[in-house]
Amino acid sequence: MRPFLTLECAELFGVRAEAAVETAAALECVHCSSLAHDDLPAMDDDDRRRGKPTVHWLCVRGRRHPRPDPASRTRPMQFVERVGLAFQIADDLLDLEGETTLLGKATGKDEGKASLVAALGGDEARARLGGLEAEAIALLAPFGGKADILCEAVRFVGQRQS
């Protein structure tokens, strides 16, 4: 999901996929590394992720790319923040209510941990998730049809089952 979002957001600003693909790959590597840490015994202590054995160590070196000026980053950053939070709420809801066989990993690992789902309860967290989806899509409105695929991705985040 992250590389896809990176490439699609880059396209919104006229950045060719060839120029953004290394950034997208690096972002995914950082995320995968964070998953490896998340699975450590001190965290979730999972031995499986998506039906496969977990990896507890990952080392990635990425290239740096120039950043656009702060004014042109505001809308995409707000979009990314909302999608990221929506994804986390959806993930926490799946941990609470999901089926282990569909998820390919153990559920109930977040019980007793600080999360919006724990703080708000399932119904209110789902409402917050819906609000974040709507806000993220609204942030894409200035891009018109160029952002259609990103809008679909936002909807996927809230509706995913695994």
- For the stretch 88-105, pLDDT in tens is 999 999 998 888 888 888
Place 106 in a pLDDT band, splitting at 50, 70 and 90: confident
The answer to whether the pTM exceeds 0.75 is no
CA–CA separation, 44 vs 47, rounded Å? 9
Q: Does domain 2-159 have CATH number 3.10.20.30?
A: no
Please give the C-alpha separations between residue 40 and each of 5, 44, 57, in angstroms, as whole numbers: 27, 6, 9
State whether residue 2 is helix, strand or coil. Answer: helix
**113 phi/psi in degrees, rounded to 5:** -95, 155
Distance, in Å, from the CA atom of 3 to the CA atom of 23, rounded to the nearest integer, reads 8
